[in-house]
A and B are shown apart, each in its own frame.
Chain A
Amino acid sequence: MNLLALVKIEWLKIKKYPAFWWMFGIVGLTYPGTNLMFYYGYSEGTKGKEVASSVAKMLLGNPFAFPETWHTVAFLSSVFVMIPAILVIMLVTNEYNFKTHRQNIIDGWSRGQFVTSKLFDVLIISLVSTVLYALVAFGFGAWADYNNIGRWAEQLEYIPLFLLQTFAQLSIAFLLGFLIKKAFIALGIFFFYNLILENIAVGYAKFKLNDIGKFLPFEISDRIIPSPAFMSRFGKDMKAAYEKALDDIPMHIALTLLLTAAIWAFCYWKHKRRDL
């Protein structure tokens, strides 16, 4: 069975799954909504004629104008990876819940094909999220400062970086659903770890453990999209930190690729051997 056939079968499963369209809708609202909130804050802070506003404008530039929009919107949108993560976890735990992970094999898939089909689910959801991000980023770029539209093709590398980051983090969500099998437990662990535990660990490690937290599962890929460029304009230390973050991107890309490949290799290995 070729890969296209696998994708078509996954599409048969997804296209009438209400949660998929809910996720699509919520992401479609969350990405522009969050960025709009920040943009509104930026506009309010810089529109006055007083000195403070002028200073703010000088410091921040316009983070939503081309080409900065690709970076800013990627950073702000990436916080909401938990929305597609819910869908990813639901899609894999549904298979256990309905026992269709068995039926697919009984009907003639290999165990490897089952994992590949799920890999495509994660890829499709990552692509959909990336397309939404790219549309929102382009929209802000054109709207925030139309004079800069000629620079739309700069910093386009944030599109593949956003895709990689989303795919990597959704792969972790998949791994949790794949191993835990129960949606609510997997979601609970995902949220608790992603939103609370790892952030505390990274923060603690930054000051006490020589920043070893950068090797934690989500942080590895979080750092392929550093904080927006305007953060570098708040003093010498911030500038140095920003430049280091930029320098570290290639290493974090490599680590992200390595971790993601390891996750999927483990899933293939495990699924081929375990009782279903």
Chain B
Amino acid sequence: MQEVLNINGISKSYGPIKALQNVSFTVPQGSVFGLLGPNGSGKTTLLSIILDILKADTGSFAWFGHPGSPATRKQIGSLLETPNFYHYLSATDNLKITQAISGRGDNASIDEALKIVKLYERKNSKFSTYSLGMKQRLAIGAALMGNPNVLLFDEPTNGLDPVGIAEIRELIRELAKQGKTIIMASHLLDEVEKVCTHVAIMKRGHLLTAGPVDEVLANEDIVELGSPDLIALEKILQQYPGVTQIKATDHPSLQVFFPMGTARMEAINKHCFEQGVVLNQLTLKKKSLETKFFELTND
């Protein structure tokens, strides 16, 4: 798969604070790439560097195989951190400036973008009169203008109400279906899990993990088992080969952890039955992104 973005060993410091430390990963074409991390983990700093807003101390990045430049940025619809527009201009006039600078789209695409983000009726109102949610939607509209193949959203649902959040999630899914590459920083894990194909998790400037969501989440097999006699079940599983950890859940049931790809459901079932414990539940579970995130980012 071709790479849209290649980040190679980027570091950035603000005085004694190391905002990014040797961060490297790639974003494949057509992926929805979630960049996760708690506040202050360096997500926005990293996105700012790849958009030439901040200068990296060391490291490099390439868009479409070329070093970052105005020409590459013009091909990317971006919303970085906050909606940045001229307060005294209307939505249409602001998008005219975006259009003139980026060269993406034409006058018709301004109306089109405003319709997608449901601001068409207020297109002649000054930006300063917009609510926070409307400002955010205008920024998303500006990114969508001219239908770019790569989109970069930094916390795209900031300031939106629940309906707005659902609409943006749906929009991102729709854009992904069209084959767009979407890079999205967020701390709304549920949101990312629902739409992303790839994920990178950061903490205090370090990249903890990156890759396809399934791979990142499934670095171990989790088997959930239920039985009328959980005490006996736990006892016989402690001797089972390959078990790394057993946890009781609230259901009640047990979660049994194996190294990735080693849990054999039939063998586990057979083992329990032979040891005289009858199962009423046996499922191979995927770890939620939230669980993985806390696991990685908790000290």
Contacts and interface: CB of A to CB of B under 8 A. Distances in A.
B53 A105 contact: yes
Contact of B88 (A17, A108, A113): A17
Contacts of A13: 86, 89, 97
Interface residues of A, number: 27
Interface in B61-107: 69-71, 73-74, 78, 80, 82, 84-89, 93, 96-98, 100-103
Contact of B87 (A9, A98, A104, A108): A98
A18 B97 contact: no
A108 B70 contact: yes
A109 interface: yes
Contact of B100 (A9, A99, A102, A105): A9
B53 A108 contact: no
Contacts, number: 74
Contacts of A12: 93, 96-97, 100
A95 to B, nearest CB: 9
Contact of A100 (B52, B54, B86): B86
A51 interface: no
Query: Which among B51, B74, B84 has the highest number of chain A CB atoms within 10 Å?
Result: B84
B101 A102 contact: no
A101 to B, nearest CB: 9
Nearest to A97: B87
Nearest to A9: B100
A206 interface: no
A98 B73 contact: no
Contact of B74 (A5, A98, A108): A108
Interface in A1-52: 5, 8-9, 12-13, 16-18
Nearest to B128: A98
B84 A102 contact: yes
A147 interface: no
User: Max chain A CB contacts within 10 Å: which of B54, B70, B101?
Assistant: B101
Nearest to B152: A106
Contacts of B87: 98
Contacts of A9: 97, 100-101
B43 to A, nearest CB: 16
B55 interface: yes
A98 B89 CA distance: 12
A148 interface: no
A54 interface: no
Contacts of A273: 55
Interface in A100-132: 100, 102-111, 113
B86 A8 contact: no
A276 to B, nearest CB: 5
B54 to A, nearest CB: 5
B113 to A, nearest CB: 13
A162 B287 CA distance: 72
A18 B88 CA distance: 8
A275 interface: yes
Contacts of A107: 73-74, 78, 98, 101-102, 142
Nearest to A101: B84
A8 B96 CA distance: 11
Contacts of A17: 86, 88
Contact of A111 (B52, B78, B102): B52
Nearest to B100: A9
B84 A100 contact: yes
A183 to B, nearest CB: 13
Given A105-B52, A105-B53, A276-B53, A100 B85 contact: yes
Nearest to A273: B55
A9 B97 CA distance: 6
Contact of B84 (A16, A18, A99, A111): A99
Nearest to A114: B101
A110 B86 contact: no
A104 B80 CA distance: 12
A103 B85 contact: yes
B102 A108 contact: yes
A227 interface: no
A94 interface: yes
Contacts of B100: 5, 8-9, 12
A94 B51 contact: no
B80 A102 contact: yes
A276 B44 CA distance: 13
Given A12-B96, A16-B93, A108-B101, A275 B88 contact: no
Contact of B82 (A16, A99, A109, A113): A99
A103 B78 CA distance: 9
10 contacts: A5-B100, A9-B97, A16-B88, A16-B93, A18-B88, A103-B80, A106-B53, A107-B142, A108-B70, A108-B71
Interface of B: 51-55, 69-71, 73-74, 78, 80, 82, 84-89, 93, 96-98, 100-103, 142
Task: Enumerate the 7 nearest inter-chain pairs by beta-carbon distance, A residue then B residue, closest first.
Answer: A108-B74, A103-B84, A99-B84, A107-B101, A107-B102, A108-B102, A275-B54
Interface of A: 5, 8-9, 12-13, 16-18, 94, 98-100, 102-111, 113, 273-276
Given A9-B100, A106-B73, 4 more contacts: A16-B88, A100-B86, A107-B74, A107-B102
